[in-house]
Amino acid sequence: MSTWAGDKPRARPCRTCRLDSIDGSLLVEHPELWRVEAWKFGELYRCSNCGRHWFLHEHRRKISRIHDTLLSLAQHWNRSRLVLNTSQLSVLASIGGVVDYYKDYVAIPCSARNVSGQQHHKAIVLVARQPPHFWYEPQMVHWADELISVVPSPFALPLEVRRASREKREESMGFAPVGIVDKQGKEYTLGWYGEFFDKQGIRGEEIRLSGRRKRWREIVRPEPAEAYYFVDWFDRCEGMLVSG
């Protein structure tokens, strides 16, 4: 990496760097974003105005700003080979993952134990071709080589629920409702995509799709994850992990 890429950004972001992402086709309209070097699954750019760093996906659909607090983690992601063993992949395949709209990552909820002895019962393994760049808290970012074991999480929603929630179109600002029901017959509405459910003693493993489409009952928002474990995207990962 060139030395100028290591300089600290200016305190105030410029107009471009107040954005989180830009459509890749519009990159020509932002000459202040300079290419620094090739990265894993893409390229690193830097703003000549204020020094912020950006990641351009290899498919060039989108260029995303790397938030300052995540830059060192993104750099670690780029220089690391993040793979899982066959046993871990087999467990994750049995749980089943959901791929995002752009096919940038497959998300698999699980319970994970790492080399530091931490047990995260609401962990998400991300098989990704993009670095942690903006919506992660730094302390929540972990790596494949930290994992000792992965097992199904009792808080994880069933694959059919996660798929339905991911595929549901937004009906209004921040609201993409999917009807669900627990084993006692109580109905809820997932207001947006999520991987976990943990409400009044009811856990994700007890939830099923209700089939309700209107007159939404008890709207719940996604239960946050405790940790994200990054794994490198690999050939045939969708066929292995998304089929369920």
Per-residue pLDDT of the chain (244 residues; tens, 9 = 90+): 343 445 678 889 999 999 999 999 999 999 999 999 999 999 999 999 999 999 999 999 999 999 999 999 999 999 999 999 999 999 999 999 999 988 899 999 999 999 999 999 999 999 999 999 988 999 999 999 999 999 999 999 999 999 999 998 888 777 888 999 999 999 999 988 889 999 999 999 999 999 776 667 788 887 899 999 999 999 999 999 996 5
Alpha helices in 59-176 (DSSP H): 71-79, 86-95, 159-167
Tell me if 193 is assigned to some domain.
yes
Tell me if 242 is assigned to some domain.
no
**Residue 124 and residue 107 share a domain:** yes
DSSP 156: B
d(CA 19, CA 21): 6
**Residue 232 and residue 190 share a domain:** no
Domain count, the chain: 3
Tell me if 208 is assigned to some domain.
yes
d(CA 137, CA 234): 25
Q: To 10 degrees, the CA torsion angle through 114, 117, 118, 121?
A: 70
**Residue 135 and residue 147 share a domain:** yes
**Residue 199 and residue 109 share a domain:** no
Q: Which domain holds residue 195?
A: 159-220
Among 140, 154, 150, 242, which Cα is nearest to 203's? 154
**Residue 194 and residue 232 share a domain:** no
Q: Which pLDDT value is given to residue 117?
A: 95
Residue 68, Cβ density class (10 Å: 0-12 exposed, 13-18 middle, ≥19 buried): middle
Q: Which pLDDT value is given to residue 1?
A: 39
Tell me if 241 is assigned to some domain.
no
Q: Which pLDDT value is given to residue 8?
A: 75
Tell me if 131 is assigned to some domain.
yes
* Other CB atoms within 10 A of residue 190 CB: 25
**Residue 16 and residue 134 share a domain:** no
**Residue 232 and residue 129 share a domain:** yes
Q: Which helix (H) or strand (E) holds 238?
A: helix 237-241
**Residue 179 and residue 145 share a domain:** no
pTM comes to 0.92
Tokens coding 170: 């937004």
d(CA 46, CA 4): 9
**Residue 230 and residue 129 share a domain:** yes
**Residue 90 and residue 196 share a domain:** no
Domain end point (choices 32, 66, 100): 66
Tell me if 21 is assigned to some domain.
yes
